Chains A and B, each alone.
Chain A
Amino acid sequence: MNRTLTKPIADDLIRPLFQTSIWFYAIVFAAATVVACGAAAWGYQIWFGIGVAGIRWPVFWGFYLVNFVFWIGISHAGTLISAILRLVNAGWRRPVTRCAEAITVFALMIGAMFPIIHLGRPWLAFWLFPYPSARDIWPNFRSPLAWDFFAINTYLTGSVLFLFLPMIPDFALLRDRSTGWRRKLYGFLAFGWRGTTKQWNRLESAMQIMAVAILPVAVSVHTIVSFDFSMAAVPMWHSTIFGPYFVAGAIFSGIAALIIAMAVLRKTLGLEKYLQPLHFDNLGKLLLLMCILWAYFVFAERLTVWYGNEPSEMAVFWATQRGAYAPFYWTMVVCNFVIPFIILANPRTRTILGCVIASFGVLIGMWLERFLIIVPSLAHKQLPYSWGSYGPRPTEITIMAATFAGMVLLYALFSKFVPIIAIWELKAGLPSRLDTATQTEASLLATRLDSESFPPESGAPRGARP
């Protein structure tokens, strides 16, 4: 009885690892080509100097820092969402968590590259590391850049472990089902996992503790990224609201990235049975909530600046509202609020396609938001003689495009070697597991699991009218 239920699940989720379509090679080739172009552009910048980028006085933080903040924000998709859903024991999380956690790890890796690219001389990056050196360059722990080092590394370490630990049982399953080099590889990664009750209990305890620990770390990371700005006396940066504003924006863009990734995986790997409309509906609701929260933060920030009427801040304010940056600003408002709100507030349009359209809007809008936080403020500092402008150069644009392609490449390769849905977690959520629970527990849990983990094939969201 157990096997008839669980074996097809394992077979379905393992299949993409052993069967490769031509599309996989096409995607990998295309993404790898763009990544190679980005690497060449970076090499060009290293060879000829940082002057080939558009960053110059007074705007020394351009595309590279915009992308740094953007990708760190995207990284909030996974571990944070996964940890919250794990802690509240949301049944529908099971097919979603690994997709989300993988985004976190890859986005953090990509985001952390940008400060190094921005240095111009990456081989000296270790000068930034906070260690006492013989060169009399001692770490200044009062610098937000030093805080970044600690926060990003803690979050990256925690996220990698949070992703890896639940993969161990699946590696063991793959070890037993594969041959040749794959068997060796998965055998090594499985750490000799057998699946004793002790191992399962320890793994579940560890995941609970890590979920508790990783949540405040995730919040702290983007708060600290916001401190890179708010600790500086630059117009519209020196604000107490920046911490929560950045965190809300990060979760917002993170959920959008997760929805897009899930939709792509669903189609390309044939996971329609597992990533159902219900999952998109639930994530769509979360995205709607964050959309409203984001609008609230933008309003609170803008109102305070406008009411204060401080000249240097008003220069930035008007530059974004009706000046040179106004087209970007209003595009951001449309992409981040108008489009997602209209689509997601209506249950009829909160479909998979609707969620994906809204998510694309959010990603574009959030990237523009990062740009609008960084560039107009640096271009309009307190003294008008130091005003200037910024325009990205091909080098920066190529490197940026390469990071998006890099994300696609990493995700494609990951889904080729690891089941993108945690097999054991999905199996553990089956309604048949409840048979020996007490009558009351069973009826409560069965209702939840039947409707949430495995809704009817139609996949109609709960509450949706027939």
Chain B
Amino acid sequence: MKAVYGLYDDPHVAQQAVDNLRAAGVADADITVISSEPFDHFEFGHRDAKTVMPWVAVAAGAVGLALTYYLLGASQRAWPLVTSGMPIVPMWTNLIIIFEMTMLAAILATVVTLLITAGLPSRGGKMYDPEVSDGFILVGVENPSDVDRLEPALAIAGGRVKKIT
């Protein structure tokens, strides 16, 4: 993997580096920003914010609901237990289990969606610098076509440029 990136102490400088890369003609999708915390109050922190996760959770909840409704009814009809005058398939009591399974399905789907869309677990091999954990913000481009063109865009006061060749 080839990469060129800058490490910045200050999020304002990191934002400037992102803007410079854009000005240098790098597509938004090719710019990688890595930090040890979310930066919700900076423009670069809102890249890739759109997600279908809520809809996946709702859909999974609906599937969990339908599946539990079916399985409960099927189990109860397969072995009809008569309990204190209640119907064989009593909706009042079944609703409790249906509710729990609906929520469990939504929770599990959320976690699975998070893992898939965030690319976790990952075995590495991508652009990273352990100095990020010390508070530096990494702004860079993986496999750039022209490293020399991007280096000046990342070389801003308050930052250090590194290259992986």
Contact = CB atoms under 8 A, between A and B. Distances in A.
Interface stretch (B19-27, B79-87, B143-151): B79-87
B81 A2 contact: no
A139 B94 CA distance: 12
A158 B103 contact: yes
Interface string B111-137: 101110111111110101010111111
Interface residues on B, range: 35 or more
B53 A206 contact: yes
A192 B123 contact: yes
A423 B83 CA distance: 53
Contacts of B54: 205, 209
Nearest to B18: A197
A9 to B, nearest CB: 9
Nearest to B35: A195
Contacts of A197: 33, 35, 38-39, 44-48
Contact of A213 (B35, B44, B57, B96): B57
Contact of A433 (B41, B104, B115): B41
Given A195-B34, A205-B54, A210 B121 contact: no
Contacts of B72: 141
A436 B12 contact: yes
B45 A200 contact: yes
Interface string B39-72: 1111111111101011001000000000000001
A220 B95 CA distance: 12
B128 A194 contact: yes
B36 A169 contact: yes
Contacts of A427: 36-37
A169 B133 CA distance: 9
Contacts of B115: 191
Nearest to A216: B103
B100 interface: yes
Given A6-B135, A141-B75, A205-B51, A213 B120 contact: no
B36 A157 contact: no
A213 B38 contact: no
A198 B47 contact: yes
Contacts of A224: 96
Contacts of B110: 206, 209-210, 213
B78 A2 contact: no
A203 B78 CA distance: 43
Interface residues of A, number: 65
Given A132-B79, A138-B79, A198-B48, A191 B120 contact: yes
A165 B53 CA distance: 15
B90 interface: yes
Q: Looking at B8, B51, B94, B133, which has the most chain A CB atoms within 10 Å of its CB?
A: B133
Contacts of A209: 53-54, 57, 106, 110
Interface in A202-223: 202-206, 209-210, 213-214, 216-217, 220
B104 A173 contact: no
Interface in A150-180: 150-151, 153-154, 157-158, 161, 165, 168-169, 172-173, 175-177
A205 B124 CA distance: 24
Q: Which among A2, A146, A193, A213 has the greatest number of chain B C-beta atoms within 10 A?
A: A2
B9 A2 contact: yes
B125 to A, nearest CB: 9
B53 A202 contact: yes
A193 B122 CA distance: 7
Contacts of A176: 130, 132-134
A196 interface: yes
Nearest to A427: B37
A367 B65 CA distance: 36
Nearest to A164: B111
A192 B119 CA distance: 9
B116 to A, nearest CB: 9
A1 interface: yes
A213 B106 contact: yes
Given A157-B107, A428-B40, A1 B10 contact: yes
A424 B124 CA distance: 21
A437 interface: yes
A437 B86 CA distance: 60
A147 B135 contact: no
A193 B40 contact: no
Contact of A10 (B78, B100, B135): B135
A213 B53 contact: no
A462 interface: no
A203 B111 CA distance: 9
B97 interface: yes
Contacts of A210: 107, 110-111
Contacts of A142: 81, 83, 86, 90, 93
B158 to A, nearest CB: 8
A208 B76 CA distance: 36
Nearest to B83: A142
A177 B118 contact: no
Contacts of B45: 197, 200-201
A402 to B, nearest CB: 30
6 contacts: A136-B79, A150-B101, A169-B37, A195-B37, A220-B99, A436-B43
Interface of B: 8-12, 15, 32-49, 51, 53-54, 57, 72, 75-76, 78-79, 81, 83, 86, 90, 93-94, 96-97, 99-101, 103-104, 106-108, 110-111, 113-115, 117-124, 126, 128, 130, 132-137
A-B interface, 3 closest residue pairs, ranked by CB to CB distance from nearest: A192-B122, A3-B135, A176-B133
